[in-house]
Chain A
Amino acid sequence: MFRKLFLVGLLVLAIGIVPALAQTTTVRYFTFSAAPDHLEDLDTIIAAFEEANPDVNVEVETAPFADYFTLLQADIVSGDAPDVFELNYENFVTYAANGTMLDLSSYLDAAAPFYPRALEAFQYEGVQLALPATFSTVLMFYNADLFDAAGIDYPTVDWTWDDVHIAATAIRALGDDTWGVYSGVQFWEFYKKAAQNGECQFFNEDMTESTINSQACVDTLNMMTSFMTDGLMPTAAQLSGVSDGDLFASGKLGMIVTGIWMIPAFSEAPFNWDVEVEPMINQHANHFFANGVAVSATTSVPEAAAAWAQFLASSEVAANVRVESSWELPALNEPAYFESYLSQTPPANRAAVFTALENPVTPPVIVRQSEMQDTVNALITRVVDGEITAQEALDQAKVELDALIAP
């Protein structure tokens, strides 16, 4: 009798101890894109990962984008970097140059269907330091009802910015509070329009000098500001605190050049709208924004961390979750994943997203990235306000950019 009790007791003990002996590895993941709208989606992906990897537990930390990088740096400098963290393309170079990320080449599953271009974007000096998790691009959204009211044809993929000018004039004539077009006059739009021009480059080939004040660049900037000076596009003062997205959503804007992340925001719009590839100047060029996921160089759990990073970036589960909830698009070359994305409406012409990817352009990136963006933006604002000419602004920009890239 006691023997049986003893054996049962042993069994109970064993059942209790064995799971405890199997160690659970915890992976800390820091992200900005998940909060506040996609936490549940992230949890779905995590659940799938933990099922496939029962001894790994993923812990999520989030922060609003505005504070994210400050917090990340603080964590890194205090010696407690998260095991896996998200970062966007613009910041990648800074983090890479300071050796904060783990070389992922040995963990990378060669069969993962990443877009080669996306994978390259996150290599630094030939080393794969992060994986592309999502990408997005910028398209031209247009209000079909306003086009009908003005009696003009919808935009096509062959449109140039001159065509936009004509259409915008027609729509603007519909009413005082109806605007023709909005395409931000700022850094990110400027380098893209520069690529559409084809001859304007911010820097020379070997990044030793800035060429932002070339004639081609001046012409590009003038083209961008012409929409405001011609009264077709509202200035910041005329927008008066309402965002361009709000303006379009309220039906008062004919065309807007903005990111595909705004599609969910416009889905409830009370008018017909669609998208098209952004018009060109001399050639097509479209934004290629990518968010990557990296593993910290100082992590104590590299295998688990890399496995999670890989799963988040390239698994079918993750891809499907993202597509279904319009949470950015996976940077994967698998048409099958995008079927459901393409079939959702509005907008009807979602295929434009992939057409846009045929001419991708990434931002010029230097180590002192934020300062460059602020400098260029400050000078562009002064042109918009009529304080200085485009030539003067870009001449000044050249001086300041040269100083920023000086070793």
Chain B
Amino acid sequence: MNLSRSPSLPIRTNTSTPARISVRRVLLYAVMIALVAIMVIPFAWMLSTSLKAQQYILETPPRLFPNPLTMESYTGLAERIDLARVVFNSGFVAIATTIGQIVISAMAAYAFARLQWRGRNLVFTLYLATMMVPSVVMVIPQFILIRQLGWVNTYTALIVPSLFNAFGTFLLRQSFLGLPKDFEEAAFVDGANPFTIFFRIMLPLNMPAIATLTVLSFMGSWNSYLFPLFVARKEEVITLPVALGVLQAGPRALTEWNLVMAGAVITVLPILIVYLLAQKWFVQGVVSSGIKG
């Protein structure tokens, strides 16, 4: 896999200028700054609202820097819901789900990418097909199943069903397929069995894709709302998005926007951290999964 840089932008440049700082560079930087601004300002807005006192939220014209700055939204939120417990629940479930998903998806991906067996394409099409059904229709049958298994209001209900996700297998299969077979063939000649190959060659060489899947799995589990709403309602197991649902006051009260925004900030922060941790491998991760289609 050649990871060298691609050629320069296909823009007409002023090739007669020998100076390092060219018009092109300035233009590029301008575009990049504008891009960053567009992406980040909405989140800055969210953060700013969460730090405002209640009465300033509906001000016109809207103000980006809160004056006065206050943490009352966060303390208010902590009074409403048991933040510590809820964040712990979400975190525990997300980490367990992520680890499980990676192991299970990687193994299945290996079976699809490297083992030759009859019916392989058919079964893989089946996997793809499961991604084409809206998950909402599955919720009630899944809930009934969870009930029959006696898993309601347990961590098991939050973790186990989420471990089996066709997308992860799809992503890793693409990545595995993109790897040249040289290393494995050499290993086979030396008498290695598939598991050794899997563990010592495939996994290490596909770390980027695995990093990608880590972030996406974590994100999926952390932000999950509908299924946890059904299966985990007790304080001991309730997760963050569901717990924050109580802030969505019905038509019989006034919504407290600053609390809602504070909840939003708390929801985004951990994923950001996970993303930054995996950032080093991330770009290259999606690289390998997108190539050979």
Contacts and interface: CB of A to CB of B under 8 A. Distances in A.
A173 interface: no
B161 interface: no
A5 interface: no
B114 interface: no
A74 B140 contact: yes
Interface string B131-170: 0000000001001100110001000000000000000000
Interface stretch (B2-10, B194-202, B245-253): B245-253
Contacts of B253: 37, 261, 265
Contact of B254 (A62, A63, A246, A259): A246
B58 A246 contact: yes
Contacts of B252: 65, 259, 261-262
Contacts of A66: 245, 248, 250
Interface residues of A, number: 26
B246 A35 contact: yes
B147 A80 contact: yes
Given A35-B246, A64-B246, A265-B254, A77 B144 contact: yes
Contacts of B140: 74, 77
B254 A71 contact: no
A36 B144 contact: no
Nearest to A266: B254
B85 interface: no
Contacts of B24: none
B269 to A, nearest CB: 23
Most buried by A among B148, B229, B234, B252: B252
A80 to B, nearest CB: 6
A61 interface: yes
Contacts of A63: 233
A79 B147 CA distance: 8
A83 to B, nearest CB: 16
B233 A71 contact: yes
A183 to B, nearest CB: 14
Nearest to B247: A36
A64 B147 contact: no
A249 interface: yes
Contacts of A265: 253-254
29 contacts: A36-B80, A36-B246, A36-B247, A37-B253, A61-B234, A62-B246, A63-B233, A64-B248, A65-B250, A65-B252, A66-B245, A66-B248, A67-B245, A71-B229, A71-B233, A74-B140, A74-B230, A78-B143, A78-B147, A78-B148, A79-B147, A80-B147, A80-B152, A243-B254, A245-B254, A246-B58, A249-B254, A259-B252, A265-B254
Interface of B: 58, 80, 140, 143-144, 147-148, 152, 229-230, 233-234, 245-248, 250, 252-255
User: What are the 7 A-B residue pairs with the smallest beta carbon separation, nearest first?
Assistant: A65-B250, A78-B147, A78-B144, A36-B246, A261-B252, A64-B245, A74-B143
